Amino acid sequence: METAVQLRDFLQTRRPAIVDRWTDLTLRVYPSDAARLMTREKDRFQNPVGHVTRKSLEELYDGLVAGRPAEEMTGPLDGIVRIRAVQDLFPSQALGFLFLLKPAVRDELGEETTMDLSALDSAIDRLTLEAFDLFMRCREQIHGLRRNEIRQQASALLDRRNRNADEEQDRVRT
């Protein structure tokens, strides 16, 4: 029990450094110019992806440190997962940011630590599974929208073709 309190105290004390490191690692999936912009630009309107990413990571970190269950953190997960679901990323790239918290914490701890991180690792794993469910629902919704758009386009083409055929028949009759 003492080590859990010790770890939570450490995580709260080192929050800025760990969240900064986690954010940097998370943004590496993007091209370097885009990642630099997302890191530097703090205005939420000039940099909506960077803003949502940073805010979501902060909220997720706070939830993990507080010991909140993964199902209670769908709000901050949803923001970042929705953005990544519409981007051209593999699921592993889109959701790998959650696993990047582990090295961010370990880098801050250093090598001489004796703290047991298994509870934190398990919480991150559960959060990743929750994120995967959200990601798949987003992708299914995107595919459904695309499917409907293709159907509407095909229907519009058929309607136009039928109108043209009707007009051609009317011309032939007259």
pLDDT in tens, 15-29: 999 999 999 999 888
Angle formed at CA 88 by CA 83 and CA 93, multiple of 5 degrees: 75
Task: Report residue 51 as tokens.
Answer: 């803003």
Which of 64, 61, 57 lies closest to 26, judged by CA? 57
Task: Report residue 168 as tokens.
Answer: 């051609």
Report the predicted TM-score, pTM, of the whole model to 2 decimal places: 0.80
Average pLDDT over residues 100-125: 89
Task: Report residue 124 as tokens.
Answer: 């991150």
65-76 pLDDT, tens digit each: 999 999 999 999
66-109 pLDDT, tens digit each: 999 999 999 999 999 999 999 888 999 999 999 999 999 999 98
Amino acid at 45: F
Is the predicted pLDDT of residue 1 greater than 60, yes or no?
A: no
Q: How far apart are CA 84 and CA 122, in angstroms?
A: 23
Domains of the chain: 2-138 (1.10.490)
- The residues, any chain, with a CB within 8 Å of residue 44's CB and separated by 6 or more, are 51
